[in-house]
Each structure stands twice: as C-alpha cells, then as structure tokens.
C-alpha cells in the first residue's frame, strides 16, 4: 500500500481541490490493483467480509505517482488549466497515511475491507482566475478543514480480482472562513480484465451546506457591483454528481502507468449560480495521466 500525496498547486489556488479528487480516484484504483491481484508477487488481502487482520510480516509498502492533469480553473469554470501531480501512499499492514495536496487522511482500522479515520487539511479558497468577471469578485480565503471518512469494500463479486466499495468523506470548516461542510459519497468498482491491467469506475455525489454553497456560488451586492453579475443567494443541497474512469498498467514489479478521465455535473443552486450559468459551465471534465512507482 502506499503514501499518497499531491502537489497540484499552491494552497489557495483554485486548481488544487479538483486535482485532489482526481488523484483520490487514481490512487484508489492503484490500491485496489495491489490488494486485489497478485500480479507483482504480492499476497492478496483476505475477503473484506471476514474483517481479518493482514498476515504478520506484510509490513511497510508504498507507491508514488508523477504526472499531469487538465482541470477546471475553478469550480464551475468553463476554462481549463494544466496542473502537475505528485501522489502517493504509505502503508503498514492495513493502516495507511494519505497526503493529497494540503489534505491528510489516516486509516485507523486494522481490518481489510473496513477503513475509517480522521481527515485534516487546508481548504482552498478562490483567488486569481481566468474569467475577468469572477476575478473581479472578492477573493475567498483558505481555511483549515477537518472531518472523517469511512470506506467499506468486498472482493470477488464477479471476478477473482474485482472489488466493490462504498465510501463517505465529511469535511467541515474549522477556521471560521464560512466554507461550511461537504459530504462526498458513492460506490466504486474495479477489476483486472488481463494480467497487469486494472480498470476502475467511481460514481459520486456531493452534498454541500448552505454556507459552503453561498460562499463559492453566491453573489452578494458588493460582488454584483464589482463583477456585473446578478445578486444570488445559494442554498445547501446536493452540489454535484459525477463519474470517473481509471486504468493502470503495471509493466513490472516497480513501474507502471495510470490514467483517468472524469466528468462532474454541478446541480441545484450551484448550477443555477450566475458564476456557473452565465459565465461558467455546470459540466466539469478532468483528464490526467501519471507514471507509477511501487516500493
């Protein structure tokens, strides 16, 4: 298993948040490839439903990814920018530490197929962006965010090396910057059609509180005057739904290549915001690729 971490942009730049989500998907299929298939000589985990501990001696392992992405300039933007990725994960048996950009996640569960633990990091705001009218609006400050996650999974649903999982991630603003709370949830499925190849799909939805939605998609009187956009008060609810596809080819024990393509649709008050409806886009596409190193 591995150390996951990402540098997509400096904290406060609008690129890092969508890039973190992409790398999470990339790294999920990488972890599933290692756990579900002994294509590199590793020992597969026991079935998730048994909640058995890993065999003694599984010890430390890790993985790094270096690559690049094309992502929206900010959430709701119709403009795209390139962002570098450096990602990884460090594990000891079933325990692991993930670092994705300025966000850390720690799995405290000793059981295969059941993961949970705390998350903490830096929540990105919105600074300088390509769209002139959104750029004229007040900047949104970065903040400290914290929360928790849980993920359950089971293997051998249809194929010997497949995995079906469902995860929930909760993050809330701890710094008082009105970023509110988000809850992301959804299933994922991965399988190996042939040796050394792993395919995966993630389906997700995100609930955002009224504070989060109004901070990132609302337009107050001052911002309306500065940008020329109509005033808009956004409320909480389901913010987006999306799907991501990923593939990994592990050509030897240590080296491989991975790629991802995804689409997220903003919905509800987020999609109706003039930031999105008038000068942006509710459809958010992401593509990326990277080189994999396992150790």
Burial of residue 132 (CB within 10 Å: 0-12, 13-18, 19+) is exposed
Structural domain includes residue 5: no
Residue 51 near residue 273 (C-beta atoms within 8 A): no
Structural domain includes residue 2: no
- pLDDT tens across 117-133, in order? 999 998 889 999 999 99
pLDDT at 51 over 70: no
Report residue 292 as tokens.
Answer: 């994999």
Rounded-to-integer distance, Cα 139 and Cα 11, Å: 13
pLDDT at 233 over 60: yes
pLDDT at 229 over 70: yes
Structural domain includes residue 233: yes
Predicted local distance difference test score (pLDDT) of residue 103: 83
Average pLDDT score, the chain: 84
Which one-letter DSSP state was computed for residue 144?
A: E
Q: 164-182 burial, b if ≥16 CB within 10 A, otherwise e?
A: bbebebbbbbeeebebbbb
Residue 280 near residue 76 (C-beta atoms within 8 A): yes
Average pLDDT over residues 84-94: 88
Structural domain includes residue 276: yes
Structural domain includes residue 7: no
Structural domain includes residue 289: yes
Report residue 77 as tokens.
Answer: 């933007």
- pLDDT tens across 182-211, in order? 999 999 999 999 999 999 999 999 999 999
Report residue 161 as tokens.
Answer: 């090396």
Structural domain includes residue 1: no
3-state secondary structure of 37: coil
The range of the structural domain enclosing residue 127 comes to 16-294
pLDDT at 80 over 90: yes
Rounded-to-integer distance, Cα 22 and Cα 9, Å: 14
Predicted local distance difference test score (pLDDT) of residue 18: 45
- pLDDT tens across 141-178, in order? 999 999 999 999 999 999 989 999 999 999 999 998 87
CATH of the domain at 106: 2.40.230
| Least confident window among 99-113, 184-198, 254-268 | 99-113
**Between 20 and 242, residue with greater pLDDT:** 242
pLDDT at 256 over 50: yes
How many independent structural domains does the chain possess? 1
Structural domain includes residue 125: yes
């Amino acid at each position: 298993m591995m150390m996951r971490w990402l540098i997509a942009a400096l904290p406060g730049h609008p690129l890092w948040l969508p890039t973190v989500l992409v790398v999470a998907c990339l790294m999920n299929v990488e972890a599933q490839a290692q756990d579900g298939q002994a294509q590199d000589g590793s020992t597969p985990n026991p079935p998730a439903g048994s909640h058995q501990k890993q065999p003694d001696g599984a010890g430390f392992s890790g993985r790094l990814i270096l690559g690049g992405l094309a992502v929206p300039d900010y959430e709701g933007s119709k403009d795209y920018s390139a962002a570098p990725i450096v990602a990884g994960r460090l594990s000891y048996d079933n325990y692991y530490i993930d670092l994705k950009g300025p966000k850390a996640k720690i799995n405290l569960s000793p059981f295969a197929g059941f993961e949970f633990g705390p998350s903490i990091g830096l929540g990105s705001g919105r600074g300088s962006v390509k769209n002139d009218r959104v750029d004229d609006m007040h900047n949104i400050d970065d903040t400290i965010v914290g929360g928790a996650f849980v993920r359950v999974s089971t293997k051998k649903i249809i194929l010997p090396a497949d995995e079906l999982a469902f995860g929930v991630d909760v993050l809330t603003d701890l710094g008082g910057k009105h970023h509110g709370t988000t809850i992301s949830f959804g299933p994922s499925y991965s399988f190996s059609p042939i040796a050394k190849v792993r395919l995966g799909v993630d389906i997700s939805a995100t609930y955002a509180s009224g504070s989060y939605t109004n901070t990132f998609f609302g337009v107050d009187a001052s911002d309306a005057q500065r940008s020329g956009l109509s005033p808009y008060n956004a409320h909480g609810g389901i913010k987006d739904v999306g799907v991501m596809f990923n593939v990994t080819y592990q050509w030897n024990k240590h080296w491989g290549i991975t790629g991802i393509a995804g689409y997220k649709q903003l919905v509800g008050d987020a999609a109706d915001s003039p930031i999105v409806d008038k000068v942006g886009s509710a459809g958010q596409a992401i593509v990326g690729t990277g080189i994999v190193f396992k150790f």
